[in-house]
């Protein structure tokens, strides 16, 4: 269920919206979404490449934006612009009035979605 798109803002920055599968390392937020459930992720960055790099640096390695079939809605753009990190997510498709969550709630306490690193 890959879907996504972007919107260029008047100041030259972009908002990228992607539908991804929830990583297995995420914590429960009471939304009823388990590992593998689809989530909508929003990223605010200087350009599309930088937005995808921000996600890859968090451990979401297989993140690509092909086409612009599901660009962010005006409400999504407003939500990500008003968040200090510029990275948000919520379950997709949205059920009821679910609020946006910061990206660290999706990635778990380590803040990284990649493989667990052994303790030294």
Please give the radius of gyration of the chain, using alpha carbons only, rounded to the nearest integer. Answer: 14
51-70 pLDDT tens trace = 999 988 988 877 888 889 99
The distance from CA 95 to its chain's CA centroid, rounded to whole angstroms, is 17
**pLDDT at residue number 30:** 47
Q: 100: burial class by Cβ within 10 Å (0-12, 13-18, 19+)?
A: middle
**pLDDT at residue number 80:** 93
Q: Residues of the chain whose pLDDT is less than 70?
A: 1-2, 24-35, 94-96, 108-120
């Amino acid at each position: 269920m890959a879907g996504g798109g972007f919107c260029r803002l008047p100041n030259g920055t972009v908002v990228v919206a992607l539908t991804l599968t929830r990583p297995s390392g995420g914590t429960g937020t009471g939304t009823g979404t388990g590992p593998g459930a689809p989530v909508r992720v929003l990223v605010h960055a200087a350009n599309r490449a930088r937005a995808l790099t921000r996600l890859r640096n968090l451990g979401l390695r297989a993140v690509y934006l092909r086409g612009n079939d599901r660009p962010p809605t005006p409400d999504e753009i407003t939500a990500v612009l008003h968040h200090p990190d510029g990275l948000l997510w919520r379950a997709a498709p949205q059920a009821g009035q679910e609020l946006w969550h910061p990206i660290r709630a999706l990635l778990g306490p380590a803040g990284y979605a990649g493989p667990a690193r052994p303790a030294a």
